[in-house]
Amino acid sequence: MGTGSLVAWWRAVVMSLAGLLCLFGTAQAGERLEVVATTGMIADAVREVGGDRVEVRALMGPGVDPHGYRQTRSDIVAMTRADLVLWHGLYLEAQMEGFLEKLARRQSVVAVAESLPRQDLLAHADHDDRNDPHVWMDPELWSQVVLVVRDALVEARPESAETFRRNADAYLDELDRLADYAREATATVPAEGRVLLTAHDAFGYFGRAYDFEVVGIQGISTQSEAGLSRIRALVDMLVDRDVQAVFVESSVSDRNIRALIEGAASRGQEISLGGELFSDAMGPDGSYEGTYIGMIDHNVTTITRALGGEAPAGGMQDRLAGR
Ligand code: ZN
């Protein structure tokens, strides 16, 4: 090799090293915060607050029941690699709790619903020392969880704090609008029709916020079985109260609900299926119902219309568009 070509070779090495360093530098500066969330509702809040500064993955997709969900091998890999892991808490992820508590000793793990003030929480029907975990059913309560998500993102990536705060403020305004719509729409349901019967007790906070008597065939967790005598007692109640509609849930089997409708029919009471509600999981990815706001809007609109109230077919979006 001559001196000229040696210099050229050296220059090439330096240039490519500089190029590599440069690439590395940009990757560091623009790197997104990697977040793993257990439920779709939490992941949605991360997406809203984090915007393009975060990359979020939900472990439980549409139709997945969190009460019985156990982490898979690939979930474990994703969680251990993540910058931040967010889970719900309040014993929602009953099968994952042990794993998540262990993980929290080694990396940033936050149970986003655990810090809600106890006086805002409903009791758990089956356990004196626990609370009902389904807090996302009340948008005003969920707004407090969004603040916890915001603070967790700020702590993990302080240099983006201003962006996270701005995004959170805008999202909280949207949640206010959602709560207004829910209040106005459900207020039109006649007093005698305000019974919300679903497969499991996920709607307690919804009932408290919008004044419905809530009855779940199964308890607060889907892990308990409803007995025949329970079904019989509920058929009596439906016939007595002249309830018009009952609801199935996207993440729970509809077997018990169908048994109820048949039981009531055999007693001459016709009860319709009011529709499918999203209780513990959101709708399909990429759809409106696959967002938290779309999920609650769908539930509010479906419940209101099935129980004799007035809500536009297209829900809150129709209302906002003046349709
Ligand atoms: Zn549930």
Mean pLDDT over the full length of the chain: 90
| Among candidate residues 195, 291, 183, 285, the one with its CA nearest the CA of residue 240 | 195
What single letter denotes the amino acid at residue 268?
G
- The pLDDT value recorded for residue 98 is 96
The CA 179 to ligand 1 mean position distance, Å, reads: 21
The tokens for 114 are 């655990």
Number of helices (H), then strands (E), belonging to the chain: the values are 11, 8
For range 11-18, the mean pLDDT? 58
The CA 132 to ligand 1 mean position distance, Å, reads: 9
* pLDDT grade for 223, boundaries at 50, 70 and 90: confident
The angle that helices 161-186 and 292-306 make with each other, rounded to 10 degrees, is: 0
pLDDT in tens, 93-102: 999 999 999 9
The CA 78 to ligand 1 mean position distance, Å, reads: 24
pLDDT at 1 over 60: no
For range 281-296, the mean pLDDT? 97
Angle, alpha carbons 38-197-128 (nearest 5°): 60
φ, ψ (nearest 5 deg) of residue 104: -65, -20
Least confident of 2-11, 15-24, 196-205: 15-24
The CA 184 to ligand 1 mean position distance, Å, reads: 25
Fold of 191-320: Rossmann fold (3.40.50)
The CA 169 to ligand 1 mean position distance, Å, reads: 28
- The pLDDT value recorded for residue 140 is 97
* pLDDT grade for 190, boundaries at 50, 70 and 90: very high
The CA 242 to ligand 1 mean position distance, Å, reads: 26
Indicate if 191-320 has the same CATH topology as 31-183: yes
**In the chain, where the domains are located:** 31-183, 191-320
- The pLDDT value recorded for residue 22 is 47
Secondary element (H or E) of residue 198: strand 195-200
The CA 199 to ligand 1 mean position distance, Å, reads: 10
The CA 90 to ligand 1 mean position distance, Å, reads: 11
* pLDDT grade for 27, boundaries at 50, 70 and 90: very low
The tokens for 137 are 């059913």
- The pLDDT value recorded for residue 65 is 94
**Rounded to two decimals, what is the model's pTM?**
0.88
Q: Residue 276 and residue 20: Cα distance in Å, rounded? A: 53
The CA 39 to ligand 1 mean position distance, Å, reads: 12
pLDDT in tens, 112-159: 999 999 999 999 877 888 999 999 999 999 999 999 999 999 999 999
Q: Residue 170 and residue 47: Cα distance in Å, rounded? A: 13
The CA 53 to ligand 1 mean position distance, Å, reads: 31
The CA 155 to ligand 1 mean position distance, Å, reads: 30
Neighbouring residues of 322: CB distance < 8 A, sequence distance ≥ 6:
none
When mean pLDDT is compared over 212-221, 265-274, 285-294, the highest value belongs to 285-294
* pLDDT grade for 11, boundaries at 50, 70 and 90: low
- The pLDDT value recorded for residue 24 is 47
The CA 254 to ligand 1 mean position distance, Å, reads: 14
Compute the radius of gyration of the chain from its Cα atoms.
24
The CA 256 to ligand 1 mean position distance, Å, reads: 15
- The pLDDT value recorded for residue 30 is 66
Q: Residue 166 and residue 171: Cα distance in Å, rounded? A: 9
The CA 98 to ligand 1 mean position distance, Å, reads: 19
The CA 12 to ligand 1 mean position distance, Å, reads: 61
Q: Measuring CA to CA, how many Å separate 57 from each of 60, 116, 126, 137, 246?
A: 9, 24, 32, 22, 33
- The pLDDT value recorded for residue 10 is 65
Q: What is the DSSP string of 46-68?
A: HHHHHGGGEEEEESS-TT--GGG
What single letter denotes the amino acid at residue 285?
D
- The pLDDT value recorded for residue 188 is 97
For range 208-225, the mean pLDDT? 86
The domain defined by 31-183 carries CATH number 3.40.50.1980: yes
The CA 238 to ligand 1 mean position distance, Å, reads: 22
pLDDT at 5 over 90: no
The CA 223 to ligand 1 mean position distance, Å, reads: 9
The CA 296 to ligand 1 mean position distance, Å, reads: 15
Q: Residue 109 and residue 42: Cα distance in Å, rounded? A: 13
- The pLDDT value recorded for residue 20 is 53
The CA 201 to ligand 1 mean position distance, Å, reads: 7
The CA 68 to ligand 1 mean position distance, Å, reads: 10
Q: How many residues does the chain have?
A: 323
196: exposed, middle or buried (C-beta count within 10 Å: 0-12, 13-18, 19+)?
buried
